[in-house]
Chains A and B, each alone.
Chain A
Amino acid sequence: MRRGAPRRFPLPLRFPQADIMANTVIGSTIVIDGEITGDEDLVVQGTVKGRVSLRENIFVEESGVVEANVETATITIHGRVTGDIHATERAELKSNCRVVGDIRAPRVLIADGASFKGSVDMDG
């Protein structure tokens, strides 16, 4: 956004990589320490600590850092996540991601090149 010419909300933003229409973006310089809850897609380019509880899709980009326990429908991770993940639908670990924590989801995908340390539970 340029100074002096305030943006008039051209939303939602499209993230072709994530294939979602994201209304919420945590930008790369943003640090949130606390709790994020809600009902819409979330793109994390910055840092989120604490707890995340959504009923939609989370997309952690390469620059994204999540140090939180995460509850969501789906999560796609290109960046770093430290914490337990509970996805009601799907957790997808892309190549070059780094994930430490336990994952509980009916579908768990781990791509070649992903780093992951933790347990996987597909029954819950």
Chain B
Amino acid sequence: MAAPAPRTTTCVLGPQITVRGSLSGEEDLVVEGRLEGSVSLVGHLVVAPGGTVEADLDVTSVEVHGDVRGDIVASRSVTIERGAQVVGNVRAPRVMIHDGARFDGAVEMDVQLPEGLGRVR
């Protein structure tokens, strides 16, 4: 994957801002406020402590310190940090849930089962 272009500033939604609707883009984003709707981002999404996201996320990677309600699809990784609260299903090749995080939902990683061990489903 190509390295992201260097940027002088990072896209930020501050703590007093509410965005309702669809957000898309190709850069890193920090949400400290409130975001409702849908997010499609080629880049790293950070939901900061105090940030609230009520949206389905389609991102490269996401790091949750705040609250997320919605399904998360990440092409690289999902990290749910201490103090975070996530309700929804998570799909990513790498999913990390840290001690002190609250998570309610399903996790789907591409699990390569060993030979001869059939998938029970």
Q: Which A positions have Cβ atoms within 8 angstroms of B?
A: 1, 3, 6-7, 9, 11-13, 22-42, 45-46, 50
- Compute how far the CA of A61 lies from the CA of B29 in the bound complex, rounded to whole angstroms: 18
Beta-carbon contact of A24 and B12 below 8 Å: yes
Beta-carbon contact of B29 and A27 below 8 Å: yes
Beta-carbon contact of B10 and A31 below 8 Å: no
Beta-carbon contact of A40 and B15 below 8 Å: yes
Residues of chain A lying within 8 A (CB to CB) of residue B27? 27-30
Interface size class of B (residues with CB under 8 A): 20 to 34
One of A3, A25, A29, A39 near B9 (C-beta < 8 A):
A25
Residues of chain A lying within 8 A (CB to CB) of residue B18? 35-38
B-side binding surface: helix, strand, loop or mixed?
A: strand
Knowing A1-B44, A37-B18, the reply to whether A25 touches B24 (Cβ < 8 A) is no
Residues of chain A lying within 8 A (CB to CB) of residue B24? 30-31
Given A24-B13, A35-B21, A45-B11, 14 further pairs, Cβ under 8 A? A3-B3, A6-B44, A6-B46, A11-B32, A24-B17, A27-B10, A27-B29, A32-B21, A32-B23, A35-B20, A36-B17, A38-B14, A38-B16, A40-B14
- Compute how far the CA of A28 lies from the CA of B48 in the bound complex, rounded to whole angstroms: 21
23 of the cross-chain contacts (CB-CB < 8 Å) are A3-B3, A3-B4, A13-B9, A13-B12, A23-B14, A23-B16, A24-B12, A24-B13, A24-B14, A25-B11, A27-B9, A27-B25, A27-B27, A31-B23, A32-B23, A33-B22, A34-B19, A34-B20, A35-B21, A37-B17, A38-B14, A38-B33, A40-B15
